[in-house]
Amino acid sequence: MLVSIFADQFENATRYVSTGVEAEVSYRDSRGWYGFAGACLAEVGTEDETGELVYGGVVNAPAITASAGVSTPKLWNLINVSTEGLLIGSRPTREDSTMDPPVAEPAAPAWFGWNVNVYAPNVRGFDISAGVRNLIGKRDLMPAPGDYDRSELEARTVPRVPGEGREVYVKVGYSY
């Protein structure tokens, strides 16, 4: 019988500090229209090898994020329709530590996503939602964690992995 035990220990060996501005606004009128928008402009810093706080270059820390959306009142006395747009600014990825000296990998590019949802409440006792997430279908290239790196034959850093693609969904729940 062969027993192998592997133990990895991951520690938060540094601190992160963010500074910036965030704003959100929403509006609902008496007819049932609802709209919202929000944005954040941030600068993220971390400690370098000497313990000094350095801003910029923090993995998966976009300088800007934003969202906006709108929802209708009940249309034709049956359904509500809503939509939203999401923006994630470009984000740094990790360094390729196999290079000497280590080289910064390309940043994950900015990404825009669009979601649409139709909600029909109390259809013969059931609530039904149907929609599409990431209607545009362009996958976000997300910064990859270190366990995505490859070491068969030669070490290779994998800096970005594709995010979720388009998703079509239907949810049905009993209304009680």
Per residue of the chain (176 residues), what is the pLDDT tens digit?
A: 444 444 444 455 567 788 889 999 999 999 999 999 999 999 888 877 777 888 877 888 899 999 999 999 999 999 999 999 999 999 888 776 666 666 677 888 999 999 999 999 888 889 999 999 999 888 888 777 776 677 777 777 777 777 888 899 999 998 66
What are the sequence ranges of the domains in the chain? Answer: 16-174
In angstroms, the CA 58 to CA 62 distance is 9
pTM above 0.85? no
Please tell me the predicted confidence (pLDDT) of residue 98: 63
Locus of tokens 């990431």: 134
Residues near 168 by Cβ (< 8 Å), separated by ≥ 6?
A: 131, 132
Please tell me the predicted confidence (pLDDT) of residue 116: 96
Please tell me the predicted confidence (pLDDT) of residue 139: 84
